Chain A
Amino acid sequence: MSRQGTRLDSKKVNSELFTLTYGALVSQLMKDYENVEDVNKQLERMGYNIGIRLIEDFLARTGCGRCYDFRDTAEKIQMAFRIYLGVSPTVANWSPAADEFSLQFETNPLTEFVELPDHCLNLKYANMLTGVIRGACEMVQMEVSAYFVQDQLKGDNVTEIRVKFIKRLEDAIPAGED
């Protein structure tokens, strides 16, 4: 896997450009919407749009096959974070039924240079990430929900995204075919 990684990872972009571009987008949303909840939703939706396209790239790049179970899925999501954002979240806190886990981040490239002002405490600054996870999984016939439970921007020790398996999408029609 690492061999493939180095070959294909030649196309990289400075993470500060990425961070600041994301920041410009978030601050634009904050100006355009009155309600912070709407900003959270919009970020999630944009992430979803990215996820449904990014999964193709991921499959092509890694040659991953189907997942055996949700633990397998968790590992692949973890791998995707490493490939795309250069961070390795820890997979933790499995539910007893193994249908729910957490991704814990020590660092998050999206939030470098970021401090939340007091009037934005409800803002889920990096909410795009949850959308990406949902979109990507949906394209491989898995409905999941993903949401932030902890955030270093809000004083928590780690940033934590909870991912919950909802159901398999059996009769998914390819996008644009309906």
Chain B
Amino acid sequence: MSMTISAVRPRTSILDKSLSRGRGEVSLSCYALLFSELVQYCQNRVYTVPELQNKLAEMGQEVGVKLIDLFFVREKNCKREIKLLNMLLFVKSTMWKSLFGKEADKLEHANDDERTYYIIEKDPLVNRFISVPKDKGSLNCSIFTAGIIEAVLNGCGFPAKVTAHWHKGTTYMVKFDDSVITRDKQLEER
């Protein structure tokens, strides 16, 4: 039996360190400039606004999947949510507070479609220093945050599609799979 031993093996792995409390901060200017580079990079590799949105969403998802364990271990004692509403509240409150320093402004349920929820944020952090050019009017870079939300929901067993729209600031439209709604109803009946 052979074993590959890494050329460089750190003395301590990241799992040996205790989890930080997540209170670290960096300056907003820094984050804004980093995000700007990220958007420019994506923009240079695509031709259309929808393609750009997809790319930004994908990068957001990359962030989202990593947040799941981080937040549930740190904030929820390793217990995941199983009820839809609790999950949404987790996103709106716990996750939002950790990421953006405040809760999301609003969480609403669509009147005409039980699968659809809206998370509303008047002034999203990532958009603060972005002025969208006229020819790209529909572009909302908050699709990056939508990607984060989507990955968190999917990773927690609530498959959904999340999109970002210019409405009351930015509205994230969360559209769940039918299966999620069905399961949630069964849970309620028990």
Contact = CB atoms under 8 A, between A and B. Distances in A.
Interface of A, helix, strand, loop or mixed by DSSP:
helix
Interface stretch (B28-36, B85-93, B116-124, B132-140): B28-36
Interface stretch (B37-45, B156-164, B170-178, B182-190): B37-45
Contact of B25 (A14, A27, A121): A14
Q: Most chain-B CB neighbours within 10 Å: which of A21, A32, A46?
A: A21
A84 B27 contact: yes
A88 interface: no
Interface in B22-77: 22, 24-31, 33-38, 40-41, 45, 58-60, 62-63, 66-67, 70
Interface of B, helix, strand, loop or mixed by DSSP:
helix
Contacts of A142: none
Given A25-B59, A28-B59, A14 B22 contact: yes
Given A46-B41, A112-B20, A115-B13, A18 B7 contact: no
B111 interface: no
B9 interface: yes
Which size bracket describes the interface of B in this complex? 35 or more
B110 interface: no
A20 interface: yes
B181 interface: no
A41 interface: no
Contact of A83 (B9, B27, B31): B27
A24 B62 CA distance: 6
B101 interface: yes
Given A14-B99, A118-B6, 17 more contacts: A9-B27, A12-B26, A13-B25, A13-B28, A13-B30, A13-B101, A14-B24, A16-B24, A16-B70, A16-B98, A20-B67, A21-B31, A24-B62, A28-B58, A86-B26, A128-B34, A155-B10
| Top 6 A-B pairs, shortest CB-CB distance | A15-B24, A24-B62, A11-B28, A12-B25, A13-B31, A20-B63
Interface of A: 9, 11-18, 20-25, 27-29, 32, 46, 49-50, 53-54, 57, 83-86, 109, 112-116, 118, 121, 128, 152-155
